[in-house]
Amino acid sequence: MIPPGETRKLLTRFFRSWRLRGLNMHRRISRCLVLLGFSISLLARAQGPPQSGGDFSNNPQPNALPSGVILLKGAWSSASDSVTPLPEGGRVAGSVYSNQYLGLTYALSRDWTEKYSGPPPSANGYYVLAQIRPAEKFKGTSRGIILIAAQDLFFTLTPAGNALELTNYSKDALSPDYKVEQPPALVRIGSHSFVRFDYVSPVAELHWHVLATQIRCHMVQFVFTSRDTKLMESLIQEMGKMTLPAEAGPISGRGGGEVPVCIKDYAQGENVLERIDPVIAERHFNPVPVRIIIDKEGKVKHVHFLSAFPDQAKAITDALFQWRFRPYLRDGRRVEVETGVMFGRAPRRPTSSSAEAVNE
Amino acid sequence: MKTIEFAWVYALLVALFFPGMAFAQTDPGVRSTTGVNAGQPLASVTANANDLAFFQAGLEQFNEHQTVKGDNPGLGPRFNLDSCGACHSQPAPGGTSPASLIFPNVGSNPQSQVIASGLVSGSTNTIPFFVVANGPVREARFPFFFNANGTANINAPNGGVEDLFTVTGRADAGACTLQQPSFTAARAANNIIFRIPTPTFGTGLMANIDDSTLLANHTTQATNRLGIGGTFNHNGNDGTISRYGWKAQNKSLMIFAGEAYNVEMGISNELFTQDRPLPGEDQLGSGLPANCLNLAGTGYPEDITHSDGTDAHTVTSDTALFSVFMQFLDQPTPSATVPGGAASISRGRALFSAVGCAVCHTPSLTTQPSHLTAGLGDATANLFSDIEIHHMGATLADNVSQGGAGGDQFRTAPLWGLGQRIFFLHDGRATDLLAAIEAHEGNGGEANIVEAIFDQLLTPGQQQDMLNFLRSL
């Protein structure tokens, strides 16, 4: 389907080329006819049933669909606008992983690369941000893998309110396949603080070193896996060069600058002045975790679906933009708030922790 | 003297190449020295004469060949084959795609033989390009409907099964005239994907795992540090977790059986009560031509519960018998020593968990009490699956959506019985375990980290232990 934005871009490009080139009248009329035909076909596309030859085709040389592309997505991440940064919006470019939402940049070691992108966020708020490994041209003798991941603390299935608690929970839940080498402990790498947790698989002779911090109610995790602990230590020391918000930290870390305050369950109780429930026609039985940013006036400014079917996303977005909230005050000033709302079928959670994910 | 020189040269060559040979990990191949280790009824079924009679009746129906008219009527008007057991036969009835050259040498791909055997008319049907004698049994789907100009219309998702053959030209098909779908054009448009039969051993145990057990396992695995998410497919009617089929789209074995009878063999039944047109025949508003309906002459549905039957299994519909047969099939028996020896298999099992394969391929889950037979109740199902659907990324994506599963999401394939399977992955693209593991990585997939650990960080010896373990299942 041609998305509305794409159609607009195509038409804008068309008119711009017409204006710039100063076409003669004959060509203008021809183009008008083409445009008319294009518009009619778009109208037909929008209003009629899909044009189709069904299961049959006699064309031996049609345009082929691209290979290795996911064209039909199920529940997927999406957002109400394409400008506001998203956690999954980070990219590796020029040997640097940058994530505007988290305020994070991480320079890859020489000849390390991201071979494959990760999956979309999970329905319980788990993000694979980057998967880094030695490139084909890597000449070193030791190999390793770096996973940069994030867990949205609003939607975690575990009873944890911050990165330290979540790491402690992970240690307690560690499978018998592994042995703890260093229990979770607070450390500083360069100017940044993390919780560090090391474990080993004796049978595989592989080590995992995990460093986690917290930004905007997400646990951001760097997971190093290798047989070579020296390599891992050197990679960890290189983390000192990365940029993170100064406010990041494993217990009450938050985003830097003017990012919204993140508060779990802000969209509940007396904070909600007006609420319109979405009408979702089709039942999917899936959890639909949503992050929203509420502006200083108490209106929803941005909606981010971690996982939703398109019809769910549309209905929920339409409803959320009608919600009104009590503006949040910090030091007597109104500030923007970021919170989470779970629609659809919420997954079962174990007993909740005493701590809540609040950056205040 | 010459003999001595030869010996030296030979020894030198061995010394040069032996290390490579010793540490080059290879798929040991289909386990052939331990007999057929699947296809038996549960012990509690064997111990009960009535249950065993039901199982045997189900097996008989499972292997029965259907015709358009006659004693076993209802075949067609479109179909992929004429018997459940023809496709589900490796290494025993209930299994998956067979081969004639590989243990236990069940036979050639039966779809490749349909003209030679007279099942379809060679003057009105051709063998599609993707069906070959030593390849897997396949069903085909077009992810999207065609536009009138022959390109795939990505605004019109299809994804339904495009049956390979028609009854047209058979003596018992009357004047029914149907065309095979445009498989060659679909290949040119890159608008065709394949599926192979899922093995059904142990599926009664899978049916009897409560949702709460699956959800608890999901929560336990949620703290993995391997990039794995996962979710469940749900039945659209009652919202519970569905579990059968490559995308876990089917809720129960009865529905699985009824749908397959209808879709793969063209036989209407009490769950799917009409003859099935191709997806496009319904989409374009035509349905099946009138002269292709009620070819059996029995009226609908063609498979029914027989109120005039004289005992339990002559009363029971074919669909229900298929379901009973699958319910009562025991899980495959792994080998403790083959291939590679007990120590290697044991190490491989430990490595399988340690590197993270077991996060999705959950080694075992416990069933709830069973009303059907004792063997299904409070039992350990060693299925090596979490029954979740996972994003497998662009390498494996088939762009078919089923229930809540999108184009790249697949149920974690249960691995029990893997040691005696020939074809791997949803479309049977791999016959080598290493290739199947390699296909787990790709853009957008959840298995990239685990695959990379296997591929990049394990030693060849460790990889071999894992392959031996997998082939022991």
For residue B253, give the H/E element and its range: helix B253-265
User: Does A29 have pLDDT greater than 70?
Assistant: no
Burial class (CB in 10 A: 0-12, 13-18, 19+), A295: middle
* Tokens, residue B404: 């809540």
How far is the alpha carbon of B60 from chain A, nearest alpha carbon, in Å?
A: 35
Residue B15 near residue B346 (C-beta atoms within 8 A): no
The residue of chain B with its CA nearest to that of A169 is B223
Average pLDDT over residues A94-106: 97
CB contact under 8 A, B227 and A149: yes
Residue B146 near residue A54 (C-beta atoms within 8 A): yes
- Say whether both A275 and A235 belong to one domain: no
Write out the residue range of the structural domain in which residue A295 sits: 261-344
Please list the rounded mean pLDDT of every run of 10 residues in chain B (473 residues): 54 49 82 98 98 97 97 97 98 97 98 98 98 98 94 95 98 96 96 98 98 96 96 96 98 98 98 96 87 97 96 93 98 98 98 98 98 98 98 98 97 98 98 98 98 98 98 98
**A47 domain-assigned:** no
How big is the CA angle at B447 (ends A80 and B158), to the nearest 5 degrees? 60
**A358 domain-assigned:** no
CB contact under 8 A, A74 and B184: no
Q: In Å, how far are B157, B223, B455 from B233, measured between CA atoms?
A: 19, 21, 30
Segment B291-345, tens digit of pLDDT: 999 999 999 999 999 999 998 889 999 999 999 999 999 999 999 999 999 999 9
**In angstroms, how far is the first alpha carbon of chain B from the final one?**
51
Chain A interface disruption, residue of B78, B180, B448, B455, most A CBs within 10 A? B448
- Say whether both A154 and A17 belong to one domain: no
Beta-carbon count within 10 A of A50 CB:
15
Final residue belonging to a domain, choices A207, A241, A275: A241
Determine the angle formed by the axes of helices B460-472 and B342-354, rounding to 10 degrees.
100
Q: List the CATH number of the domain containing A147.
A: 3.40.1000
- Say whether both A159 and A289 belong to one domain: no
Segment A132-157, tens digit of pLDDT: 999 999 988 899 999 999 999 999 99
**A56 domain-assigned:** no
DSSP 8-state code for residue B173? G
Residue type, B351: L
Final residue belonging to a domain, choices A241, A276, A296: A241
- Say whether both A237 and A301 belong to one domain: no
User: Does A34 have pLDDT greater than 70?
Assistant: no
Cis peptide leading into A250, omega within 30 of 0? no
Residue B53 near residue B312 (C-beta atoms within 8 A): yes
**A293 domain-assigned:** yes
- Say whether both A112 and A232 belong to one domain: yes
Average pLDDT over residues A49-77: 85
Check residue A258 and give its pLDDT. Answer: 87
Average pLDDT over residues A163-191: 97
Burial class (CB in 10 A: 0-12, 13-18, 19+), A5: exposed
Compute the distance between CA of residue A57 and CA of residue A55 in angstroms, rounded to an integer. 7
Segment A270-329, tens digit of pLDDT: 999 999 999 998 888 999 999 999 999 999 999 999 999 999 999 999 999 999 999 999
Region label for B336, one of left (φ > 0), alpha (ψ between -120 and 50) or beta (otherwise): alpha
Residue B31 near residue B422 (C-beta atoms within 8 A): no
A45 φ, ψ (degrees, to nearest 5): -60, -40
Extract the runs of DSSP E, i.e. beta strands, from B115-248.
139-141, 144-146, 152-157, 161-162, 165-166, 193-195
Chain A, 215 to 254: residues with Cβ < 8 Å from chain B are 221, 223, 225-227
Total number of domains in chain A: 3
**A67 domain-assigned:** no
Residues of A in contact with B404 (CB under 8 A): 74-75, 284-286, 309
**A73 domain-assigned:** no
- Residue length, chain B? 473
Letter string b/e over residues B65-75, b meaning 16 or more CB atoms within 10 A of that residue's CB: ebbbbeebbbb
User: Does A76 have pLDDT greater than 70?
Assistant: yes
- Say whether both A95 and A204 belong to one domain: yes
Residues of A in contact with B227 (CB under 8 A): 118-119, 128, 131, 147, 149
Check residue A298 and give its pLDDT. Answer: 98
Beta-carbon count within 10 A of B139 CB:
21
- Say whether both A171 and A138 belong to one domain: yes
Residue B275 near residue B291 (C-beta atoms within 8 A): no
Segment A193-229, tens digit of pLDDT: 999 999 999 999 999 999 999 999 999 999 999 999 9
Final residue belonging to a domain, choices A192, A208, A241: A241
Burial class (CB in 10 A: 0-12, 13-18, 19+), A105: middle
The minimal CB distance from B351 to the residues A144, A204, A208 is found for: A204
**A108 domain-assigned:** yes
Distance from the Cα of residue A209 to its chain's centroid: 23
* Tokens, residue A48: 């009629």
According to DSSP, the β-strands at B193-195 and A337-344 are unpaired
Compute the distance between CA of residue A188 and CA of residue A210 in angstroms, rounded to an integer. 13
- Say whether both A19 and A165 belong to one domain: no
How does residue A350 score in pLDDT terms, banded at 50, 70 and 90? low
- Say whether both A214 and A319 belong to one domain: no
Compute the distance between CA of residue A212 and CA of residue A192 in angstroms, rounded to an integer. 11
- Say whether both A223 and A265 belong to one domain: no
Average pLDDT over residues A118-127: 98
Instruction: Residue B269: name the closest of B296, B297, B301 by CA.
Output: B301
Residue B211 near residue B240 (C-beta atoms within 8 A): yes
Cβ–Cβ contact A281 with B under 8 A: no
Compute the distance between CA of residue B277 and CA of residue A186 in angstroms, rounded to an integer. 64
Positive or negative torsion for Cα B183, B188, B190, B194: positive
- Say whether both A168 and A229 belong to one domain: yes
- Say whether both A90 and A235 belong to one domain: yes
Residue for token pair 């331990």? B34
Distance from the Cα of residue B147 to its chain's centroid: 31
Compute the distance between CA of residue A331 and CA of residue A107 in angstroms, rounded to an integer. 37
How big is the CA angle at B359 (ends B357 and B363), to the nearest 5 degrees? 80
Least-confidence region, from A107-121, A243-257, B171-185, B264-278: A243-257
**A256 domain-assigned:** no
Residue for token pair 């923007």? A336
Residue for token pair 């290949």? B187
What is the complex's ipTM, to 2 decimals? Answer: 0.93
Compute the distance between CA of residue A234 and CA of residue A109 in angstroms, rounded to an integer. 10
